[in-house]
A and B are shown apart, each in its own frame.
Chain A
Amino acid sequence: MTATLERPSVPVKKTRPITPARIALHVFLVLTCLMTLAPLLWAVYASLRTYEDTSVNGYFSIAKSLTFENFAKAWEIGDLPHFYWNTFLITVPALVITLLLSSMVAFGVSRFSFKFNIALLMLFTAGNLLPQQVIVTPLWRLYRLIELPAWMSESESLIDSPLGVILIHIAFQMGFCTFVLSNYMKTIPYELTEAARVDGASVFRQYWQLTLPLCRPVLAALATLEFTWIYNDFLWALVLIQDGDKMPVTSALQNLKGTFFTDNNLIAAGSLLVALPTLVVFFVLQRQFVGGLTLGSTKG
């Protein structure tokens, strides 16, 4: 981040003298980073070893051989593809609809002046900050009350249905996205939409064809963040889905633990497989990830 922001202004030629303080700083940072990565590296190391090896020599030993067998086993025994698919069915619609709805609200409150603008924004922002447990009990009961036709939900209600989890993700995550998007849209010059309006563009065109394309960078940042947040959700699915088979992968971990018995190598491999999508997103889209979180906080 620093690099991108400052590169143009820094003359390349300048070489800094290597002082002891600099070296100490680097040593300290390298050690801190290694300590931060240690738990993950330890899990990777455990996952690459065989059960026979670790049960004889213990985990704190030099591996005799390394193998990917645990990953294949965890994949199969844990039925991971099935649970990844469940997650996919929840994450993608929730993500798309959250961004769509919150960009609409953000457009409304940032482009037009209503008396309730700030009240509405405050409501969304506050809603997103509530601890989930404040909502979860009545929500669970409400979901059992709402009946759905069988083609929408096998359980014929919102409980035990991916649809219910999608809905609460949308309702809950909308707060953060609306907050960030409305802050961003306020920085887009008014003259733009004004000119479009004078030219006879409808409100929807001003939103869809003019404002949204300008918001692409924020939308990308939010999409990255929301993907990890929705993927990482544990509580909503745990409570709102009762059939273990329908759970998304993060919540299903709990059951996988039972399936893997006490084979820590398998648990390590399974955990890493579950972490993989978010880690990939982090490595590929780190700028968006960091940018989104920064945007959520710079206001104020």
Chain B
Amino acid sequence: MTALQEKPKAVTPSGSPPRRRGKRATALAGTDKLVLALMLGIPAFVHLLFVWIPALGSVALSFSRWNGIGGFEDIEWIGVGNYVEIFSEYPRFWPAVQHNLIWLLFLLIVPTSVGLLLAVLLDRELRFSRIYQSALYMPMVLSLALVGFIWQLIYTPDGGLLNSVLGLDKPVDWIGDSDINLYAVMVAAAWRHTGYIMLLYLAGLKSVDPALKEAASLDGASASQTFFRVTFPVMKPVNIVVAVVTVIEALRAFDIVYVINKGRNGLELLSVLVTDNIIGEASRIGRGSAVAVILLTISLGVIIPYLYQVFSKENRT
């Protein structure tokens, strides 16, 4: 594990060792070229066929009216009709957008700050540090579907842990009440997300050069000044990863609301509106695809800057 952690680190600061470009590829023998082409070609084909072609398919279908069952000749092309309908008439759309936004803000604020705080607290010589870390990471290995099941035991009005601990006269229906169920579910989702954020920040904190902190404290900076003015800005790459992971996680949120009530009654999410067209009651492929395209657009909004920041370094070397 030491090796695992240190190898990439050794490379990051100064860039990869100088390499002579172009030379190697030309010197390959015929069979080697073929082998290499297959080694790159087969995976690329699989990835394109099952990931990117369907993604583009969503874009195309978003301009159509189709029930998805019949053949392609039944597809009726209606231009931007689906988008118009979604924005103006579809009653579940705006609530879903709002819920996704609340979900995103909640994840960006709560697990991120808690995860960062825990990482800072654990990033020192501390007895039992490993045990603390194990306990805090544990929710991470559970699927969100399972998290939904486990938290239902806490939230149920009849004998759930939360109502029992609170000891209210009138039990609160944490999951059935559409005013609060979104928040209850988000707490459960955040429970699982926090460990991951903590892990990312712990790795980030370890990669910060101790000399920086030392210099700051020699200059008379207090511990909090050192953290906010030196350590935190230096961790920019980690902050970006955290932001990307959180946005994507918020857009993907599905399993947990689906196992709880199939994404209804206050738990509508964009992801539910898409899947409802293939496994739910609705069967409007075009409208569902238009929602998928909206998801795609938002996610590309974070994916592209992320790619830029990760790969721009390599372009330069």
Q: Which residues of chain A have a CB within 8 Å of any CB of chain B?
A: 1-6, 10, 16, 25-26, 28-30, 32-33, 36-40, 42-43, 46, 54, 58-60, 101-102, 104-105, 107-109, 111-114, 118, 120-127, 129-142, 167-168, 170-172, 174-175, 178, 183-184, 186-187, 189-190, 202-204, 207, 217-218, 221, 228, 231-235, 238-239, 250-251, 253-254, 257, 264, 267-268, 271, 274-275, 278-279, 281-283, 286-291, 293-295, 297-300
Checking B68, B136, B164 against A60 with a beta-carbon cut-off of 8 angstroms, the contacting residue is B164
- Do A136 and B121 have beta carbons less than 8 Å apart? no
- Do A253 and B36 have beta carbons less than 8 Å apart? no
3 closest A-B pairs by CB:
A138-B57, A60-B164, A232-B143
Checking B2, B58, B160 against A5 with a beta-carbon cut-off of 8 angstroms, the contacting residue is B2
**Secondary structure of the A contact surface, majority rule:** helix
B19 to chain A, nearest CB (A): 6
- Do B207 and A239 have beta carbons less than 8 Å apart? no
Q: Mark B13-29, 1 if CB is under 8 A from A, else 0.
A: 00011010111110010
Report the separation of the CA atoms of residues A125 and B311 in the bound assembly, to the nearest whole angstrom: 11
Report the separation of the CA atoms of residues A118 and B240 in the bound assembly, to the nearest whole angstrom: 20
- Do B4 and A221 have beta carbons less than 8 Å apart? yes
Q: Which B residues touch A42, using CB under 8 A?
A: 150, 153-154, 161
Asked whether A134 and B58 contact (CB < 8 A) given A187-B7, A234-B255, the answer is yes
B110 within 8 A of A: no
Report the separation of the CA atoms of residues A108 and B38 in the bound assembly, to the nearest whole angstrom: 10
Q: Which B residues touch A178, using CB under 8 A?
A: 43
A190 to chain B, nearest CB (A): 6
Report the separation of the CA atoms of residues A99 and B300 in the bound assembly, to the nearest whole angstrom: 26
Number of interface residues of B (CB under 8 A): 131
Report the separation of the CA atoms of residues A298 and B13 in the bound assembly, to the nearest whole angstrom: 12
Instruction: Tell me the residues in window 272-287 of chain B with beta carbons closer than 8 Å to chain A beta carbons.
Output: 274-275, 277-279, 285
Q: Which A residues touch B270, using CB under 8 A?
A: 133
Shortest Cβ distance from B202 into A: residue: A1
- Do A40 and B153 have beta carbons less than 8 Å apart? no
- Do B191 and A36 have beta carbons less than 8 Å apart? yes
Instruction: Tell me the residues in window 260-317 of chain B with beta carbons closer than 8 Å to chain A beta carbons.
Output: 270-271, 274-275, 277-279, 285, 288-289, 291-293, 295-296, 299-300, 303-304, 306-307, 309-311, 313-315
